[in-house]
Amino acid sequence: MLRPILNIIYLTLCLNFITANHSFASENSFRSETVNMNKNWKFKFVDQAKTENHWQSVNLPHTPKIEPIIVNAQWQGLAEYQKTLNIDPKWKNSKLFIRFEGAMNHAEVWLNEHKIGEHLGGYLPFTFELTDYIDFHSSNTLKVKLSNLDNPIIGPKPLKKLDFNTYGGLYREVNLLIKNPLHITDEIHANQVASGGVFVTYPKVSINESRVKINTHIANSYATKKAFEIKQTLLLDNTLIGGSELKVKQLAANTAHQYSQELVVKNPKLWSPNSPNLYTLHTDVYLDNQLIEQKTTRLGIRKFEFNEKHELLINGNKTFLRGVNRHQEYPHVGYATSPQADYRDAVKIKSAGFDYVRLSHYPHSKAFMDAADELGLVLIDAILGWQYYLEDPKFKQQILNTCHDLIRRDRNHPSVLAWECSLNESWMPEEFIEDLHGIVKQEYPGGFSAGWQHGYDLYLQARQHRQKHYETPTQPYNVSEYGDWEYYAQNAGLNQDSWADLKEEERTSRQLLNSGEARLLQQAKNLQEAHNDNLSTPAFADGYWVMFDYNRGYADDLEASGIMSLFRLPKYSYYFYQSQRHPDILSSKYDSGPMVHIASEWNKGSATKVKVFSNTEQVELWLNDRLIATQSPVIDQFSTHLPHPPFEFNVNEFVAGKLLAKAYIKGKLVASHQVVTPTAPVAIELEVDISGKPPALNAKDLIFVYAKVIDKKGNLVPINDQKLVFETTGDIEVIHSNAAKTEQGKAAVLLKIGKSLDQASIQVSSKTLGIQSEPLFLKNNIGEK
């Protein structure tokens, strides 16, 4: 008890010292701050003929057009955003910067009719200084001109040929950075290799003792030399772990320099997929004995390395990463998601049994990166690229710049295993690959590069292209994509001769949630076969294509190979992957532990060979309280390498009623799941998707609401294509349309929360079925009837 008490006393004394001395602050002691700029923007379209549309009032994140579920004519064009900046007079002697986290994809920024800067690329941040253009005597207007038209210098190939949509707008947050003239630099604006801002590395990682190295880049914009101090404080769960103070340093006028400090951490809690321990680092800068800036960095102490067999070691422990690829789009709003929505995506991925995500094929949001750190998802972080290379100096420089900026933005995330500074599925000359690989080594010494051609540290070899270029790897090897294209194109499925009796649409892995039981089971079978085959290779990881259904720029349908629908509802294959996680892994942040799931609707027409996914030792299947059988997992050609093969039960004939699976480990019942043959639909139940932590429904959040059709006993009625209508009250709205069709008995809409949940409710009805739900009131952080 003594140490926590002393820590609290120490921190309190520090706070009191800062507060007491603040009243005697000198003119140099202005404290840097960040002001969020997401609210109160004006937006308008500007067409090619320069005919201007009317201004709309919007908040960020914002997408220019609310799209339909199937986006085959995504809006592309010119748009403009404007915002009045409220400038505090106390900022007059400060340095002011504006930072955009994402603007799709060619941005020009103006302040008071002065062009401040221009940026190419829609996925990474950029920062411009405003200091010399601020008018402290009148209002200041910030203007952003955006074009999301196809751009050969940015790439990838034109939208009409692209396999994903890029959307548009100021779809991530914007912040105003107000800095003391002596300040910690912005890592993007500083534009320094392996520098800028705060950069943390780990010279030594051990369970007994680790070393944390902190590089802090300081700029002095004063006209005179300044003496200052930097203090580093490391905490774990608000408990002081260690600190380091840099003795008074002198920095010449109008210069910048990087300062290094090192902390020794005894008996550290290391970061890994199953134990994602995070520390909080406070970097404090003092000028004239006054705290002028504090930057908080969340970090995880960990070490990624590969042994002579090319196996991945995390903190010295051999690890195979079961993973998935993710596109970041949401229905209707594209990329303009809330931080909470990105967090819930990460929870779903972790709950599905995955420990690794390939961020395809572009940088994803900071919110998703933060969630990966917290939940224990190892990431391969990628620049934008897909089947496009241009032999043009401007294009090549653009790609090199994005590699620099990607690493500078994400280098402190413990979740990042490697940097995919590679143009996916795009031929690149060797010298260009060497340049990209070299940037990784410069920006993150000791870090790993990754790419689908040779010349990188890690080789990303897609199983679904294996007939085309498979070879035994001579370096660490990741099956970067599998399970979709080889079955869609019928070019590499190992068992496709046996499935010759199936139609093309029946054997593919691209199955919508409403495709029916048989086709969803085929998807799961494909993925089981492919994942099992991956485990026979020397790969250290594999990544299924893809987690969520998504839109393609050139197609008139959804790409439906996701193990969850576009609205994040699970298919049978979701439970196959969930069953591959060890039952001893437990977390309160995501679904974990022992599980069992019956992959059947148990309706007339259902397969009487019932497949059950579980990570346990034995499963009993009961039909109407009669034991069918007690089974161990089935070991066959599809499961020889799986940690937890599926179970199969032969039920002689369909009999309506209740199928119940009971799962056992060492003779103890640890999980159960039931499916009941439904009767006629009589009601609708509502639920709000609040995945994992944090459970709160926040203002400006985007959430999925699911309406479930049930019978008189509350059983799901898995009917498809029934129209349900959603009606709301209060400051909430259904995005795009208040009507949705059922898939496996559930209809989903995307709901946007306004400023408040006061009197907010939702109710759903069906005219054709003649049923409706009770109102669901959104309050107290959960949905209540």
Check pLDDT > 70 for residue 19.
no
Contacts for 24 with CB less than 8 Å, ≥ 6 apart: none
In terms of DSSP bridges, do strands 416-420 and 378-382 run parallel, antiparallel, or are they unpaired? parallel
Long-range own/partner contacts, residues 765-771 (CB < 8 A, 24 or more apart): 765/684, 765/724, 765/725, 765/727, 766/684, 766/709, 766/722, 766/723, 766/724, 766/725, 767/723, 767/725, 768/722, 768/723, 769/681, 769/709, 769/722, 771/681, 771/682, 771/683, 771/684, 771/709
Q: In this predicted structure, what is the pLDDT of residue 370? A: 98
Residue 703's pLDDT band (boundaries 50, 70, 90)?
Answer: very high
Residue 785's pLDDT band (boundaries 50, 70, 90)?
Answer: very low
Contacts for 674 with CB less than 8 Å, ≥ 6 apart: 598, 658, 659, 660, 661
Rounded to whole angstroms, the Cα distance separating 285 from 292 reads: 6
Tell me the average pLDDT across 272-284. Answer: 98
Q: In this predicted structure, what is the pLDDT of residue 694? A: 53
Residue 286's pLDDT band (boundaries 50, 70, 90)?
Answer: very high
Element (H, E) at 610: strand 609-614
Compute how many other C-beta atoms are within 10 angstroms of the C-beta atom of residue 101.
21
Q: In this predicted structure, what is the pLDDT of residue 495? A: 57
* pLDDT tens figures, 194-236: 999 999 999 999 999 999 999 999 999 999 999 999 999 999 9
Q: In this predicted structure, what is the pLDDT of residue 29? A: 77
Rounded to whole angstroms, the Cα distance separating 576 from 380 reads: 23
* pLDDT tens figures, 729-780: 999 999 999 999 999 999 999 999 988 888 899 999 999 999 999 999 987 4
Check pLDDT > 80 for residue 169.
yes
Tell me the average pLDDT across 491-508. Answer: 68
Tell me the average pLDDT across 606-628. Answer: 97
CB 219 within 8 A of CB 186: no
Q: Which amino acid is at 461?
A: Q
Check pLDDT > 60 for residue 642.
yes
Q: In this predicted structure, what is the pLDDT of residue 491? A: 64
Q: Which of 51-55, 247-251, 416-420 has the lowest mean pLDDT?
A: 51-55
Q: Give the DSSP letter string of 332-357.
A: TTBT---HHHHHHHHHHHHHTT-SEE
Which of the listed ranges 47-56, 441-450, 774-783 does the model predict with the highest average pLDDT?
441-450
Q: In this predicted structure, what is the pLDDT of residue 17? A: 37
CB 580 within 8 A of CB 567: no
In terms of DSSP bridges, do strands 378-382 and 356-359 run parallel, antiparallel, or are they unpaired? parallel
Q: Give the DSSP letter string of 630-646.
A: EEPPP-STTTTT-SS--
Domains and CATH numbers, the chain: 33-171 (2.60.120.260), 183-299 (2.60.40.10), 313-577 (3.20.20.80), 596-676 (2.60.40.10), 683-784 (2.60.40.10)
Residue in 661, 721, 655, 660 with CA at minimum distance from that of residue 516: 721
CA atoms within 13 A on the CB side of 39: 7
Tell me the average pLDDT across 699-728. Answer: 95
* Residue 648 DSSP code: E
CB 38 within 8 A of CB 130: no
Long-range own/partner contacts, residues 564-567 (CB < 8 A, 24 or more apart): 564/348, 564/352, 565/512, 565/513, 565/743, 565/748, 566/69, 566/331, 567/331, 567/704, 567/706, 567/748, 567/749, 567/750
Average pLDDT across the chain, whole number: 92
Rounded to whole angstroms, the Cα distance separating 563 from 777 reads: 30
Q: In this predicted structure, what is the pLDDT of residue 490? A: 72
In terms of DSSP bridges, do strands 321-326 and 356-359 run parallel, antiparallel, or are they unpaired? parallel
Rounded to whole angstroms, the Cα distance separating 173 from 365 reads: 10
CA dihedral 397, 403, 405, 407 (to 10 degrees): -160
Share of residues in the chain with pLDDT > 90 (%)? 85
Contacts for 429 with CB less than 8 Å, ≥ 6 apart: none
Q: In this predicted structure, what is the pLDDT of residue 699? A: 75
Place of tokens 């190295």: 213
- What are residue 492's phi and psi, to 5 degrees? -155, 5
Residue 700's pLDDT band (boundaries 50, 70, 90)?
Answer: confident
Task: Indicate the angle between helix axes 366-375 and 339-351, nearest 10 degrees.
Answer: 40
The backbone region for 207, taken as left when phi is positive above 0, alpha when psi lies in -120 to 50, beta otherwise, is alpha
* pLDDT tens figures, 338-379: 999 999 999 999 999 999 999 999 999 999 999 999 999 999
Q: In this predicted structure, what is the pLDDT of residue 26? A: 58
Tell me the average pLDDT across 175-202. Answer: 98
CB 381 within 8 A of CB 339: no
Number of H helices, E strands in the chain: 11, 48
Q: In this predicted structure, what is the pLDDT of residue 49? A: 57
Check pLDDT > 60 for residue 468.
no
* pLDDT tens figures, 92-149: 999 999 999 999 999 999 999 899 999 999 999 999 999 999 999 889 999 999 999 9
- What are residue 115's phi and psi, to 5 degrees? -75, 120
Rounded to whole angstroms, the Cα distance separating 732 from 779 reads: 12
Compute how many other C-beta atoms are within 10 angstroms of the C-beta atom of residue 2.
6
Residue 22's pLDDT band (boundaries 50, 70, 90)?
Answer: very low
Rounded to the nearest angstrom, the gap between the alpha carbon of residue 31 and the centroid of all alpha carbons in its chain is 33
Helix intervals (H) in 332-484: 339-351, 366-375, 393-410, 430-443, 466-469
Q: In this predicted structure, what is the pLDDT of residue 493? A: 53
Contacts for 756 with CB less than 8 Å, ≥ 6 apart: 699, 730, 731
Q: In this predicted structure, what is the pLDDT of residue 750? A: 97
Share of residues in the chain with pLDDT > 70 (%)? 92
Tell me the average pLDDT across 14-25. Answer: 38
Q: In this predicted structure, what is the pLDDT of residue 506? A: 85
Identify the three-state secondary structure at position 493.
coil
Check pLDDT > 90 for residue 28.
no
Q: In this predicted structure, what is the pLDDT of residue 59? A: 95
